Structures are given as C-alpha cells and as structure tokens.
A and B are shown apart, each in its own frame.
Chain A
Amino acid sequence: MNNPFTLEGKTILVTGASSGIGRGICIDCSKMGAKVHLMARNEERLNETLAQMEGEGHVIHKADLCSTDDINALVDELPVIDGVVLCAGIIKTMPVKNISEEAMTEIFNANIMGDIKICSRLLKKKKLNHGGSVVFISSVSTFNVKVGNSLYSATKGAVNSFAKAMALEVSKQEMRVNCIQPGFVPSSILSSGAIEEDAFLKFYAERHPLGFGTPTDIANGCIYLLSDASRWVTGSIFTIDGGYTLQ
C-alpha cells in the first residue's frame, strides 16, 4: 500500500531527544521507519529514549546546544540527513523587571541560537538532502502570552520568524521549513519552574477543550512535515493545541 506519510528510508535528526516532546518524536518517527539521530546533553536519558524506539540504525549524540563546538562536531559527524526536528528548549519564568543578562543569554542560546547554528551548519556542510524538511517546535506562547514568560515568548517568536525566512532561502533545493506550535503537553520542562503546579495544571486543564496533549500528538504533526506528504508545505506555522487558543 502506498503510504505518503511513511518515513522509510529517511534519516532524521532530533534535538531535545532525552525527554518530553523530543523523546516522543524520536519514538514515533522510528515507528514510521525513520533512522533517527538523537541529540541531547544527558546520555543516560538519551539511552532511555533509544530503548523505546523501533528499528535499527539509530545513533545517539551527546551534545550541548549552547556550545558552538558541540554543534559543529555533531553536524560534521552526521551523514546526509532528510530532516531535522528542533525540539530542545527551556523555560525561564520571571517578570520583565527581574530579567538578568545571565537568564536572557541562557534561554536565547538554548531556544533559538543553537537552532540557528545547527541549520546554518547543516546547509554549509551540505548535510541536508535535496527536498529535506526542517521542523521547529515553537509554542502558542508566541501569541498567547502569560505574565512572567516574556523571554520564552520572545525566543519562540524569533523561531517562527527565522523559520519563514529560512523557508524562502532554501526553496530552490525544494527544502521545506515549518513550525509546530504546541499547546500544553505535560512534560519535565515545567517541573523546575516558579509556578504553583496544582493551580497551573487546573488553569490549563480548564482551557484545553480536547484535554492535555501527549508527545505523540505533536510527533504526528512532525511525521507529516517530515514525510513526502507535505512536499508543498513550507513556511507554515501549525498550531496543535487541543483547541486551547480558540478562546
């Protein structure tokens, strides 16, 4: 049976592969036939992701997105790939008046500058195949803002704008660049935050008409964008949020 959504024969790089949405993307892409290169800082948790994946030929890369040397080394050791999902990210919750340069540098490095460095290096080293697909995991917080999250929203807004501009530049090689804006998917990104967890979960539970998302809900969007089914889709920003931003 012809399946336009298959990832058979495709090699995909996923950043942030050690937890949450990134882990789910690795697992689900492997089930669709992809060979996955998993990148994150924590080798032990990368191995936990790997243990849940199907198929052969997956490769772990221990690397820090905040280190240019790590990124260059990672890209240089990659084979030519067919797609990349940029999923790594952190949250820094603080009001504007309390923003420190340290926090600002850390979140911009992790959420946007590392992604830009990977994309730039992939193109420079010709490591992204003709027709390759780049998927950024952005956030509904680009337009649905919350107090204390200005830094996070700013980095994700930068992601969306960068993706569109890059989409235009690489269209000659039939490469495609798109963003997914997830709503709330419970994951460890929140557990270190300054939020009151019970109140936070209640607040968001009431505002997601289809309930909370799972990593698979986001991974399925990635599979579409990585597959040949989306060959004519580029510069798009997909909101996958269980109806959160409807009201």
Chain B
Amino acid sequence: MELKDFIANFAEQFDETDVNEFKPETVFHDLEEYSSLVALSIIAMINEEYDVTLKGDDMSAAVTIEDLFNIVKSKM
C-alpha cells in the first residue's frame, strides 16, 4: 500500500474540495467538506480497497491523512 495511492483514494470521497488540499500532513477533520457522511464514505472506501474495517473511533483518533494511512496499514 502506497501513501500516494491512499491519498488519491481518500480525496476521491470528497466532491467539492480541491485535490491539492490533500497531503500527508492535511488535518482532514478541519476540511470544510468533512462530515459524518464523508467519514462513512472513507470507511467504506478503506473496506473495499484495503479490506480493513475501521470504526468511527479510528477516524476520530487520526489527525492527519498520514495518521489514518498508518492505522489502516497496522490493521492489514
């Protein structure tokens, strides 16, 4: 699993946010478009692409996109 691909998949779950906003250090909870619906979308994407089942609490625990990447990696 590559961080670059993960970020692309992550960005895919957003519809309004500029793709350049998504970087390893992006604090995704602060993105204007981020919502509980987007969080569910990201959880579903991670389940489909990486076969990892995250809980809502995992989303809260991650601060940056890279944090989330590392959580997913640790569960693979």
Contacts and interface: CB of A to CB of B under 8 A. Distances in A.
A147 interface: yes
A194 B56 contact: yes
A198 B60 CA distance: 11
Contacts of A247: none
Using C-beta atoms within 8 Å of the partner chain, give the interface range for chain B.
10 to 19
Contacts of B55: 193-197
Given A95-B37, A148-B36, A148-B37, A194 B43 contact: yes
Contacts of A147: 36-37, 40
B44 A98 contact: yes
B54 interface: yes
Interface string A70-101: 00000000000000000000000111011010
A51 interface: no
Contact of A95 (B44, B54, B57, B59): B44
Contacts of A194: 39-40, 43-44, 54-56
Contact of A196 (B37, B44, B45, B60): B60
A100 B54 CA distance: 17
B48 interface: yes
B64 interface: no
Interface string B35-76: 011011101110010000011110110000000000000000
Interface of B: 36-37, 39-41, 43-45, 48, 54-57, 59-60
Q: Name the 7 nearest CB pairs between A and B, nearest first.
A: A196-B56, A98-B44, A148-B40, A94-B44, A194-B43, A147-B37, A195-B56
